[in-house]
Amino acid sequence: MVSEQREILAEWSKKVRIGRMSRRSFLASTVALGLSSSAALTLLEGCAAPSGSGPSITYWNLFGGGDGARMIQMENAFAQSNPHIHLQPVTLAWGDPYYTKLTMASAGGRPPDVAISHMTRVATYVAQDLLEPFDLNELAKYDIAEDKFLSPIWQRAHHGDKVYAIPLDTHPFVMYYNVEICRKAGLLDADGNLKPFQGINGVLDAFKSAKEASGGYGVVFEIQGVTPWRLFYSLYSQLGGAIFTPDNKELALDDAKAEQALSFMADLTINTKVAASNIDYAGSVALFGGGKSAFLWNGEWEVTTFENQKGFEFSMAPFPLVFDKYRVQADSHSFVLPRQIATDPERRSASLEFISYMLKNSYEWAQGGHVPSYLPVTDSEEYKKLKPQSNYASVASNVVFDPNAWFSGSGSELENQAGAAFQTILNGQASPQQGLRQFRDALQKLLSIKLPFQQ
């Protein structure tokens, strides 16, 4: 299917260049194939005959919205700085559509030279032999080495003794706060920063004060989606809980710890009502942006949304320590090398040059909220002055990624099943014990499915 799509797209782009198809028709047709309009334009430009004799590399990613616009800016900057390399970027639909197409392209022998993958998806690709490991000696030539990354993130890129991913960022679960409401609630210090609060009582007390000051809610977060998983996994990990055995073949859920985390979540929406129940993603963002909640728990990628909201004063802080040891759920956008039928040394070198450029220039990427993985950027004074984005950068050393199961990772079935089970608890339709039983049963069914690449 992917090879057929590429042939169709190449033919369409040729028709545009010779005047037999309009750009409008081209855009409508490519969107029907699953590409965004911005990706279609990028593809059209990339399909034009390149000038010069340098290598041409294809790059696939799944970035939309503000991330997509920022990535296109970075791609254009790379192209201008490296005229000897012809970059052909393609943006595909986020989530399973993207990963399905990447799998098909790699299995069919027509993959891109470089692609983006969430770090939590890499293990499955490695198990299917769809990725090539990076040559550490070659990476070193482009200033990509272990000492340029936080150890936990770099180690996560390993499978066996080989590196299969180069992390661009870490994107953790964070806490946004309305400065005006928090000031009114007495939650800011003399410098106007949020006073730290922790523990079950400390968090609930802060949200109760914030609820009274806001006239709405203390905190909001998505209920009808996958955010309940991110919240649960952060809390459960703070209790030291594991989802699977180390080989990811059997369930290792600790019912007592899981119920403790889920009971706290139910306290927020049902018992104390400091949090809104039964709202979707857009609803949670709108409530916070509309001044109806003092706090928002979400990914850090919404920072641009609130920065663009005129007259809205907000800031950001790490997700709080509620239980024993600080942990917070996160993932990492990473560069991978899909398996090639035959590796072209010139294109591989150009691919590494592209990855290196994106890492070294990831300050622009950081402005969208993500914590840069490349330490020379994260440790720079420029980044430290970037507010509120740098306020939560310290958590990158204490993040927990989704387990390495075939059905796990960002946008995965694990997250979907967790969301379905836990929202019943958050909406008062089920007890923590009942919701946990639903989640356990769903995971057990997924574990029982034996795929060809599983050992």
Helices 65-81 and 345-360: crossing angle, nearest 10°?
A: 120
Residue 15: what pLDDT?
47
453 is a domain residue = no
Q: Kindly state whether residues 262 and 341 are assigned to the same domain.
A: no
Sign, CA torsion 159/163/166/169: positive
Q: Kindly state whether residues 187 and 61 are assigned to the same domain.
A: no
343-400 residue pLDDT tens: 999 999 999 999 999 999 999 999 999 999 999 999 999 999 999 999 999 999 999 9
187 confidence band (pLDDT: 50, 70, 90)? very high
Q: Kindly state whether residues 97 and 133 are assigned to the same domain.
A: yes
236 is a domain residue = yes
Residue 20: what pLDDT?
45
Residue 163: what pLDDT?
98
pLDDT tops 50 at residue 46: no
Q: How many domains does the chain have?
A: 2
- Report which residue type is found at 381: E
Residue 128: what pLDDT?
93
CA distance 129 to 127: 5
Residue 29: what pLDDT?
55
Q: Kindly state whether residues 263 and 201 are assigned to the same domain.
A: yes
Mean local confidence (pLDDT), 435-440: 98
Residue 9: what pLDDT?
56
pLDDT tops 50 at residue 3: no
Q: Kindly state whether residues 403 and 373 are assigned to the same domain.
A: no
44 confidence band (pLDDT: 50, 70, 90)? low
391 is a domain residue = no
Q: Kindly state whether residues 232 and 321 are assigned to the same domain.
A: yes
Q: Kindly state whether residues 231 and 293 are assigned to the same domain.
A: yes
pLDDT tops 80 at residue 339: yes
Residue 450: what pLDDT?
82
Mean local confidence (pLDDT), 403-412: 93
Q: What is the CATH number of the domain that holds 438?
A: 3.40.190.10
Residue 48: what pLDDT?
43
Nearest to 136 by CA among 154, 115, 113, 116: 154
220 is a domain residue = yes
284-323 residue pLDDT tens: 999 999 999 999 999 999 999 999 999 999 999 999 999 9
Mean local confidence (pLDDT), 247-275: 97
39 is a domain residue = yes
Mean local confidence (pLDDT), 100-122: 95
161-173 residue pLDDT tens: 999 999 999 999 9
pLDDT tops 70 at residue 271: yes
390 is a domain residue = no
Domain with 262, as residue range(s), is 172-330+396-448
Residue 455: what pLDDT?
60
Sign, CA torsion 442/446/447/448: positive
317 is a domain residue = yes
389 is a domain residue = no
pLDDT tops 80 at residue 23: no
Q: Kindly state whether residues 265 and 136 are assigned to the same domain.
A: no
Q: Kindly state whether residues 90 and 221 are assigned to the same domain.
A: no
Q: What is the residue-wise DSSP string for 203-228? A: HHHHHHHHHHHHTSEEEE--SSSSHH
CB 154 within 8 A of CB 139: no
| pLDDT mean across residues, the chain | 91
pLDDT tops 60 at residue 454: yes
Q: Kindly state whether residues 96 and 194 are assigned to the same domain.
A: no
Q: Kindly state whether residues 84 and 193 are assigned to the same domain.
A: no
Residue 109: what pLDDT?
87
Residue 49: what pLDDT?
41
Cβ burial, residue 127 (10 Å; 0-12/13-18/19+): middle
Q: Kindly state whether residues 337 and 258 are assigned to the same domain.
A: no
